[in-house]
């Protein structure tokens, strides 16, 4: 009996079938985490190109393509192993991947997405990176940033513990622990005249993630 065509989510996940642990990770991540659907909802029909900073194994790019986002995508990640997997998993697409530090991304004018990456940088680097992201958003474009905010909650405590664990098992080679405040994330965008929207974004996860949507106004001539 045929099980019919794959849903867009399952199609994205199936790209990682040849790496069973990554396949199961992708299955869980896309089933439980609301951030990817939020990115699709924000970008789906846009023709502007997308820069995905800290793209990991390319799962968001796979998810966006499966959901009909057709504009160019460049993913950047410091972990060469993950970039190698992303390139193989999306080899039949025009998504490009680059191994390197998120702070040294190439010139861009479009949308920028950065999910769960900011806490790997110290205060000065976070401010500089956010300002550079703001400068790289096209008129009418978006910067979509998910961050764990520093708050006195059990969710924050659990997120810190999870970060420690994924570093111990070497899923992420670097230890990230510099969680910012809401104002620290928003300030560079407010100063550049962006409209700011912030929503809790933990869905069925126990983590303390917030989703910042920063829109650069259209230039009015
Ligand atoms: C928690 S994962 C998030 C992956 C992806 N954004 C997602 O949501 O599926 C954090 C990612 O940031 C990457 N990373 C850490 N420090 C980085 C840096 N300095 N430059 C670029 N990527 C970095 C890690 O390699 C990892 O892939």
Give one word for 140, left, alpha or beta, with left for phi > 0 and alpha for psi -120 to 50. left
40, part of any domain = yes
State the CB neighbour count (10 A cutoff) for residue 188.
Answer: 21
Higher pLDDT, 110 or 203: 110
Residue 171 CB–ligand 1 contact under 6 Å: no
Q: Are 209 and 148 within 8 A, CB to CB? A: yes
Q: Greater confidence, 37 or 173?
A: 37
DSSP string, 6-49: PPHHHHHHHTTTTSHHHHHHHHHHHHH-THHHHHHHHHTT--S-
Residues 6+ apart with CB under 8 A from 77: 54, 55, 56, 83, 86, 97, 99, 100, 102
Give the count of alpha carbons within 13 A of 33, CB side only: 22
CATH number of the domain within which 137 lies: 3.40.50.150
User: For the chain, what percent of residues have pLDDT higher than 70?
Assistant: 95
Cβ–ligand 1 contact at 54 (below 6 Å):
yes
Instruction: Tell me, using a 6 A CB cutoff, whether residue 130 lines ligand 1.
Output: no
Q: Determine if ligand 1 sits within 6 Å of the CB of residue 33.
A: no
Least confident of 118-122, 172-176, 195-199, 213-217: 172-176
What tens digit of pLDDT does each residue of 167-185 get? Answer: 777 777 767 788 999 999 9
Nearest CA to ligand 1 atom 17: 78
Strand 209-215 to 142-148 pairing: antiparallel
53 CA to centre of ligand 1 in angstroms: 7
- Whether 1 is in a domain gets the answer no
* Mean pLDDT, the chain, whole residue set: 92
Q: Is the CB of 129 under 6 A from ligand 1?
A: no
For 18, the token pair is 């040849």
Residues 185 and 145: beta-carbon distance below 8 Å: yes
Q: What is the pTM of this model?
A: 0.92
Ligand 1 center from residue 144 Cα (angstroms): 15
Inside any domain, residue 108: yes
Q: Is the dihedral of CA 96, 99, 103, 106 positive or negative?
A: negative
Give the total number of structural domains in the chain. 1
pLDDT over threshold 50, residue 221: no
* pLDDT per residue as tens digits for the range 67-102: 999 999 999 999 999 999 999 999 999 999 999 999
For residue 221, is it within any domain? no
Instruction: Tell me which residue of 40, 41, 73, 67 sits closest to 55, measured CA to CA.
Output: 73
List Cβ neighbours of 148 (8 Å cut-off, separation of 6 or more).
116, 119, 156, 159, 179, 207, 208, 209, 210
* Structural domain of 131: 8-215
Residue 3: the pLDDT is: 60
101 lies in a domain?
yes
Q: Is residue 176 part of a domain?
A: yes
């Amino acid at each position: 009996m045929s099980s019919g065509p794959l849903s867009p989510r399952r199609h994205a996940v199936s790209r990682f079938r040849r790496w069973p642990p990554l396949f199961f990770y992708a299955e869980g991540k896309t089933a439980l985490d609301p951030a990817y659907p939020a990115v699709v909802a924000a970008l789906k029909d846009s023709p502007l190109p997308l820069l995905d900073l800290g793209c990991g194994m390319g799962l968001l790019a796979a998810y966006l393509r499966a959901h009909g986002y057709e504009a160019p995508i460049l993913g950047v990640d410091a972990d060469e192993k993950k970039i190698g997997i992303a390139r193989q998993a999306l080899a039949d697409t025009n998504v490009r991947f680059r191994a390197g530090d998120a702070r040294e991304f190439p010139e861009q004018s479009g949308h920028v997405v950065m999910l769960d990456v900011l806490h790997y940088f110290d205060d000065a680097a976070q401010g500089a990176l956010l300002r550079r992201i703001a400068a790289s958003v096209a008129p009418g474009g978006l910067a979509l940033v998910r961050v764990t905010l520093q708050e006195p909650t059990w969710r924050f405590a659990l997120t810190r513990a999870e970060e420690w664990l994924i570093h111990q098992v070497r899923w992420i080679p670097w230890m990230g622990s510099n969680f910012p405040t809401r104002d620290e994330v928003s300030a560079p965008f407010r100063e550049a005249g962006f409209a700011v929207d912030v929503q809790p974004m933990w869905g069925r996860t126990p983590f303390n993630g917030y989703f910042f949507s920063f829109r650069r106004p259209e230039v009015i001539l």
